Structure 1
Amino acid sequence: MSKYYWIFFTICFHFIAYKVHCKSDIPLGFKVTIPIPSDYNEGFTGRAFLMEPEQITVPSFKVALSVEASFNGNFSCSLQIFLGEFKVWDSGHVSKFYPQNKCMLEFTEGGVLLLRGSKRQIGWTSGTSGQGVERLQLLRIGNLVLLDAMDRIKWQSFDFLANVILWGQVLNFSTRLTSSISGNSSMFYSFEIQNNRIGLYLNSGKFKYSYWEFSPTEGRNIVSAELGSTGLKLFDQKLRKFAQISSRKHKLVRFLALSETNGNLGLYHYSLEKRKFEASFKALSAICDFPLACEPYSICTLSNTCRSIQFSEKAYPVQSDCNVGFSGEFCGKTEPVEMIEIKGVGSILKSPQIFNVRKDVCVSMCIDDCSCVALLYSDKGVYAGDVRQRCVHYGLARGLKQMEEEEVTVNMWSYWVKVPKGIVGAEGGNSVLKRCLPVMVGVVDVLIILLVMGGFGYYYLVIRK
C-alpha cells in the first residue's frame, strides 16, 4: 500500500482552529527542505504545501515542494501545482531531479527560484538571474509567476506546459502537451497542433504516430488553442475563433489533461456533489482505439481482448499466449529477415512514412530499412481509378487492431510484420493468423454455446423439476 507523508512548514502567518492559512506570495531569501528517506519505499510521497491564492475557491490551487518515489528506485524532487488533489504542473515533467539526502527549494536574493540537493547540486532553476525579480506569487488562475518591483512577469509556469492546460492557458504550434509512459524512456504521448488539425500522437524514437485527430470542417490552419469555460477554442492566423472541442456537459471546464496512463485526452469539470473532478469529454472510448492497449506484436480483437501473434508453434510450443519469441529490434543485427502478412488486421496508428509504390516494392523497402518493423499496404486507389498506392512503414508493431472483414475488403488493407527469417517454418505466413485470432474467436463462440446449453439444461433439470 502506498504511504503518504504530508508535511506542512511554518511559512504561514497565522493559524485558525488548527487550519493553516498560507500567503499567496513568497519573498526573496526563502528556503524550505524535505529530507530524502534513507531507504527506498515504493509509493512514498512527501509534500510541503507552500502557497495558496488570496481568493480561495473550491477546489483551490496550491503550490507544493514534493519528494516522490520513482520506478527506477530513486526519489525525485520537484515543485508542483495542484488544483484540489489533481496535479496540474510539475517542474520535473521533462527532466527529473534525483537528489541524495534532501530536496531544497530556494528563492535566492538574486531573484532565482531553484531546487538543490545535499551537495549543492542544482536540479532545476527558473533562470531569472539579473532580471530584478523580487517575489514569487501564485495567481488565482493557477499560474505561478516571478515578479519584479513593477509587478511585471519575468517567469511563469504557464510558459512551460506539462500534460495539463488550465482555464485561460494557450497552446500554439510551437508548444505541446506531453505525457511520459511509465517504465519506457523511448516513447511518450503528445497533444499538439499540426497545420489544419489538432491531434494526439505516440512518439517513438524519431517517428510520430497519430492516433486521434480533430480537423475543423472549414479547413483553416490552426495557429493557437485556448481553454475556455465550455471547451478548447481554436483560432486561425487572424486570431479569430473558428472551431471548438466542446464539453458534452453544461459544466464549467477547469482543465484539459493528457492522460499519463493511456494517452487519452479529456476535458474536466468539478462535481460539488461528488467532490471530485469528472470528465465532460474524452477523445477515446473504445479499448482498441488506445495506441498501447496491447503489448508489442499483440492484436486488439473484436471482443476487446489482446492476443499476441504466434509465429511458430514448433519453435515455442509451451508459449500458449502466442509470445513472438524475438525482440523486434533489427538495427545492428546481421541475421536475415522476412515479411509475414497478418490478414484481417490493421493499425490505428497513422505513420508519417507513406510511399506511393507497389506492394512488392513496399515490402522490399521495409526489409532493407532496419528501423521498419511493420507495414500497412493498400492499393484501393488503383482499383478506384486513382494512381496512388499507400505503403505505410512503422518503426514499432503497436496499435494492431482486428478489423471487420467488410472493412478490410473495402480498404484493401494488408498488414505485414518483419521477423527473423525461418521463424514461421514450413507452415507459411497464412497460418499465423489462423493459429491466433480465428482460433481465439472460435473458443469464445464455443464457450458461449456451452453457457447457453448449460443454462437450458439447468432450467429443465432443476427449475422445472
Structure 2
Amino acid sequence: MMKEHRQCFSIFFFIYLVFCSSQFAISQRLVNFISGVPTLWINRPSIGSNFSRRILNYTPILLERNTGLQFLYGFSCNFYHTECFLGISLVLYNSTGETIYIEGGRLVWSANRDHPVQVNATLQLGQDGNLVLADSDGTLVWSTNTTGKSVSGFNLTDMGNLVLFDTTNRTVWQSFDHPTDCLLPGQNLVSGQKLTASVSADNSSQGLFSLTVLNGSWATYISSDPPQYYSTSDYPDSLYYSFDGQTLTALPYPPTSIAQYIQLGYDGHLRVYQLDNLENNMLGLNWKEVGDILTLSDCRYPMVCGRYSICANGGQCTCPVEVNFFKPFSERNPDLGCTELTPISCDSSQYHSLVELKDTAYFSFGFNYELNSSVFWLEGKKIEDCQRACLSNCSCKAAVYYPSFNLNLLRGDCLLLNEVFSLMDVGVGTVFLKVQNSPNAPVIFPRQKMPFKVIIGCTLIGIILILSVCSALSKKRSEKRKAGDFLDLEPILPGILTRFSYNELKIITQDFSRKLGKGGFGSVYEGTLSNGTKIAVKHLDGVGQVKESFLTEVKTVGGIHHINLVKLIGFCAEKSHRLLIYEYMVNGSLDRWITQENGLTWHKRQMVISDIAKGLAYLHEDCSHKIIHLDIKPQNILLDQNFNAKISDFGLSKLIEKDKSKVVTRMRGTPGYIAPEWLSSIITEKVDVYAFGIVLLEILCGRKNLDWSQTDEEDVHLLTVFTRKAEQEHLTDMVDRNEDMQLHREAVTEMMSLAAWCLQGDFSKRPSMSLVVKALEGLVTVETNLDYNFRNVPKVGAGNQPREAAISSKLPSVLSGPR
C-alpha cells in the first residue's frame, strides 16, 4: 500500500512540474524528500518578478514548508533563462494559503557549474539508483555515479546537504562531499576535497583559486604547475570555523543562524557572508560580508595586480620599469596586469636574459617549500646559482631569491616559477624576470668567464665520464637485446614516467575488458589505478611501424608537459607487449562533438580552438626541440570533464633540432588533413598549421572535412564548399546550424578568415601557431590578402628536389594509429 502511495505521489509531482502555470507564485506545496524510483523532473523555470533583473528563476524539486529563509534544491536560471544550474540555493520562502513565493537568493552548491543547461533539461533518479542530469538535447551533464548502490530516494537536510539514501536509510552520496566554492555551517572539508572559486562574479565556472587540506594545514593556492600557495593556516579556533589538523569545519556565528556561508571568491579572498536584517528584506535577500578569514594585505593575493605586475602599498599596480620588455595589458585598468612584448621562445634560449627587481617579494615564497608542492626549490645557493638555474630551464619564467637569515648572507634560497603572478614592492628579496632579447641586444646577465685551467680540467673529466657512460649503456643495450627486449627505455626519462608490468596493466584494466576505442595500431582500454585515478591504456599491436611509433611517443610526450597536451603517465615494454598509459579524458575525442546535433556552444568551441592553438604553439616554439605533430585532426583532440582540449597521439611526430627548419620523411598523416606541400616542397611545422585550419573549419561548420553523405558531389569536400562560398560572399551559410552558433554567426564567420589564413597553399604565407594564438586573443589582426584556392602551391625551384613520398592507401585510423 505504501509503495502505491509513493508511486502516485511521484506521478502527481511530475505532472505538476510539467503543467504548472508560468507565474512566479507556485500553487503547490513542496516536500523536503523524494522516495521511490524512477522519478523525473524537467527544468521549467517560472517567470521572475520585474523588480530586479538579477533575480533567479527556479524549478524547485526539494523545499521545506516553513516560511522564511530556506534551502532549495532544484534548477535556478538567470533572468533570460539562457543558463541554468542544478544546485542548492538559500532563498526567501513565503506562503499565503496555497500560494508559495520564492525570492532570489544565493546558489551555494551546483552540480553543473562548468556546464550550464537549458530550459527542458531533465533530472532523473533511475531504477539503477543513479541521479542523472541531462541537457535539453539529451547530453549527459552530471551524475552521482551511484549505479547499483540501492538508492531508494534523496533528502535535503536542514543544513543544506543533499543526501541520497538506500533502503536502510544509510547515506550513499551527499553534496557535502563534493563542495564547489562555498562551505555551509556544519559542513566539513577534508584531505582530498577542495573549494574552487568561480572565474568571476558573472561566470560560475571553476576559476584559478582553490582551498584544500594538506599536511596538517588548510591552504589556499592559485592553479599553476605546480600550484602556488599564498596562505596556509593550522589555527584551530575561529568564530567561523574549527580545524583539528585534518578537518576544516564551518561554524555558524551566532550559533543559531543558518543565514551564513563561507565562500572562496574569484579574487582569492575567503569571505564570510551573513543575511543582513531578514525582517527588512522581504522583497529580496541582501547578503553582507562580515569577515575575511585570510586577513592578508591586498598585495599578498596572487592576481591583485595581474601577471607580471608589481603591487605597491595601497594596492597600486605598475609594470616593471623595463619598458622594453613589458607593457600594461590595459592602460585604463592597470590591475589587469602586464604582458611580455616578446614572448619567451625556447628555440632562442641564447637570447634569454634576466631583469633584476631588487627589494621585491613574491607571495608564494616559503609556502611552496613548507607544503612540499614544488620541485623547483633550491636551498643554500649563491644568487648566481639561482640565476643560472632559471636560465638553463626553459620552463622557468622567473627566479625569486631570498638571502639566508644567518651569518652566511652570501647564500640563500631560490624558488623557480613556471608562471608569474603579482609581485610585491616590499621585502628584502630579489626577483629575476626572464625576458627575450633581440639578437642584437646586450645580454643583461652575461655568463661569467671561467679560468683556463678549470675549463681544461672540467673538459677532461667530462670526456672520461662520457666514455664510461657510453660503455655502460652499450653493454646494457647488448644484454637487453639478447633477452629479447628490443627497446632500452631506462635512460629516456628516469623518474618521470612509471614503468608498468604487463600483469599490473591486466589487473588495472580488468584484463582489458573495457575498450574505449580501436585504431590501426591497436586498441585503447579504460583502467583504474589503486588510488582511484582513471587512466587510458593504449595497447599497440605488431612490431615494425609500431616499434617506431612507440619509441617516438615515449620520447616525445614523456619529456614535455603542457596543459593542452595529453599527459603520458607511463609505459610497458615487456617481451612483445608495448603499451602506453595516459590520463583519462572523460569527454572523449573532438570528432564525436563536431557533428553532434545541438553540440558544443560557441563559447566552448572558442575554448577548444584556443586550447588546440596553444598546444601546437608550445610544440613548435617552446620545447627544447621543435616538435611537428604531423597528424592533427579531431580524433586526436581529446576533451576533459570541463571540455578543455588536449592534443594526443604523437606516434607520427617528428623532432627537429633548433638549428634546423625542415624535416625529410615519408608522407604521413590522414587524408583530408595533409598539407599540399607534401608532394612538392619541404616539410616544416606549417603542415600542422594547415591541419589546424581544417580542424578549425570543421568546428565552425559542424561537419567533417570529407562528408560522403552529401548528395551533391561538390559538397563532399569542405574546402571546396569553403572556396565557393567565399567567392559568393555567403560564408554565413556554412555556420553550424546549432542554435547558439547561429546567434553568433557574425563572429563565427569572422573566425573563418583565420582558418583561411592557416590554409594558404603557400606554406610561407601561413601564420605561426603563436601568431594564431595572438589572433584568437585579439592582439593581432588576420591577414586580409588571402588566396581561397587552398591547393595553389608555389613551383619547386631547381634546388628543391622532391623527397621520398609514399602515399598510403590505408584508412585514416590506420595511418594515424590507435586513439
| Distance in 2 of aligned mates of 1:385 and 1:66 | 61
CA RMSD of aligned residues (A): 4.3
- In the alignment, is the contact (CA less than 8 A) between 1:34 and 1:67 conserved in 2? no
C-alpha distance after superposition, 1:302-348 (max 9, x if no partner): 2322112243459989x977955436555676573111101232112
Matched, 1:400 2:423: yes
- In the alignment, is the contact (CA less than 8 A) between 1:338 and 1:419 conserved in 2? yes
Q: 2:437 aligns with which of 391, 400, 421?
A: 421
- In the alignment, is the contact (CA less than 8 A) between 1:210 and 1:349 conserved in 2? yes
Matched, 1:89 2:109: yes
C-alpha distance after superposition, 1:232-263 (max 9, x if no partner): 111257x9xxx999899888475543333211
Q: 1:161 aligns with which of 176, 179, 192?
A: 179
The residue type paired with residue 209 of structure 1 is Q
Q: 2:265 aligns with which of 256, 260, 264?
A: 260
Matched, 1:360 2:384: yes
For 1:380, the equivalent position in structure 2 comes to 404
For 2:156, the equivalent position in structure 1 comes to 138
C-alpha distance after superposition, 1:71-124 (max 9, x if no partner): xxx96554210123111111124xx33667742112223332111134433111
3-state SS in 1 of match to 2:64: coil
Matched, 1:24 2:36: no
For 1:290, the equivalent position in structure 2 comes to 301
Q: 1:23 to 1:235 in 2, by over 3 A?
A: same
Matched, 1:326 2:335: no
C-alpha distance after superposition, 1:256-308 (max 9, x if no partner): 43333211112333333565333332124643232111121211122322112
- RCO higher in structure (CA 8 A, sep ≥6): 1
Kindly state the Cα deviation for residue 199 of structure 1 after the two structures are TM-superposed: 1.9
For 2:135, the equivalent position in structure 1 comes to 117
Kindly state the Cα deviation for residue 53 of structure 1 after the two structures are TM-superposed: 2.9
Kindly state the Cα deviation for residue 360 of structure 1 after the two structures are TM-superposed: 0.8
3-state SS in 1 of match to 2:420: coil
- In the alignment, is the contact (CA less than 8 A) between 1:9 and 1:49 conserved in 2? no
Q: 1:170 aligns with which of 159, 179, 188?
A: 188
3-state SS in 1 of match to 2:387: helix
Q: 1:187 to 1:138 in 2, by over 3 A?
A: closer
| Distance in 2 of aligned mates of 1:335 and 1:425 | 12
| Distance in 2 of aligned mates of 1:257 and 1:123 | 27
For 1:214, the equivalent position in structure 2 comes to 233
- In the alignment, is the contact (CA less than 8 A) between 2:74 and 2:87 conserved in 1? yes
For 2:393, the equivalent position in structure 1 comes to 369
3-state SS in 2 of match to 1:296: coil
Matched, 1:200 2:220: yes
Q: 1:251 to 1:211 in 2, by over 3 A?
A: farther
For 1:59, the equivalent position in structure 2 comes to 69
TM-score in terms of structure 2 length: 0.41
For 2:199, the equivalent position in structure 1 comes to 181
For 1:338, the equivalent position in structure 2 comes to 353
The farther-off stretch of 144-153 and 269-278 is: 269-278
The residue type paired with residue 268 of structure 1 is Y
| Distance in 2 of aligned mates of 1:247 and 1:30 | 34
Q: 1:255 to 1:326 in 2, by over 3 A?
A: farther
Kindly state the Cα deviation for residue 48 of structure 1 after the two structures are TM-superposed: 1.3
| Distance in 2 of aligned mates of 1:127 and 1:244 | 26
The residue type paired with residue 87 of structure 1 is L
- In the alignment, is the contact (CA less than 8 A) between 1:137 and 1:146 conserved in 2? yes
- In the alignment, is the contact (CA less than 8 A) between 1:34 and 1:103 conserved in 2? yes
| Distance in 2 of aligned mates of 1:335 and 1:44 | 57
Q: 1:376 to 1:60 in 2, by over 3 A?
A: same
Kindly state the Cα deviation for residue 131 of structure 1 after the two structures are TM-superposed: 2.2
For 1:348, the equivalent position in structure 2 comes to 363
Kindly state the Cα deviation for residue 63 of structure 1 after the two structures are TM-superposed: 0.9
Kindly state the Cα deviation for residue 212 of structure 1 after the two structures are TM-superposed: 1.8
Q: 1:101 to 1:80 in 2, by over 3 A?
A: closer
Which segments of 5 or more consecutive residues in structure 2 lack a partner in the other structure? 1-13, 46-52, 92-104, 369-373, 446-819
| Distance in 1 of aligned mates of 2:67 and 2:165 | 23
| Distance in 2 of aligned mates of 1:144 and 1:65 | 14
Q: 2:316 aligns with which of 298, 305, 327?
A: 305
Q: 1:137 to 1:328 in 2, by over 3 A?
A: farther
The within-5 A match list for 1:203-282 is: 203-204=223-224, 206-216=225-235, 230-236=239-245, 252=257, 255-272=260-277, 275=281, 276-282=286-292
- In the alignment, is the contact (CA less than 8 A) between 2:355 and 2:433 conserved in 1? yes
- In the alignment, is the contact (CA less than 8 A) between 1:309 and 1:324 conserved in 2? no
| Distance in 2 of aligned mates of 1:142 and 1:314 | 51
| Distance in 1 of aligned mates of 2:399 and 2:178 | 36
- In the alignment, is the contact (CA less than 8 A) between 2:398 and 2:420 conserved in 1? yes
Q: 1:116 to 1:215 in 2, by over 3 A?
A: closer
C-alpha distance after superposition, 1:191-239 (max 9, x if no partner): 12222322211121x21112122234xxxxx8xx9xx9x42111257x9
| Distance in 2 of aligned mates of 1:18 and 1:244 | 36
TM-score in terms of structure 1 length: 0.70
The residue type paired with residue 69 of structure 2 is P
| Distance in 1 of aligned mates of 2:394 and 2:316 | 30
| Distance in 1 of aligned mates of 2:212 and 2:161 | 21
3-state SS in 2 of match to 1:60: strand
Q: 1:32 to 1:164 in 2, by over 3 A?
A: same
Q: 1:368 to 1:344 in 2, by over 3 A?
A: same
| Distance in 2 of aligned mates of 1:98 and 1:245 | 28
Kindly state the Cα deviation for residue 400 of structure 1 after the two structures are TM-superposed: 0.8
Q: 1:150 to 1:215 in 2, by over 3 A?
A: closer
Q: 1:299 to 1:108 in 2, by over 3 A?
A: same
| Distance in 2 of aligned mates of 1:256 and 1:166 | 5
- In the alignment, is the contact (CA less than 8 A) between 1:133 and 1:147 conserved in 2? yes
Percentage of matched positions with identical amino acids? 20
| Distance in 1 of aligned mates of 2:109 and 2:205 | 20
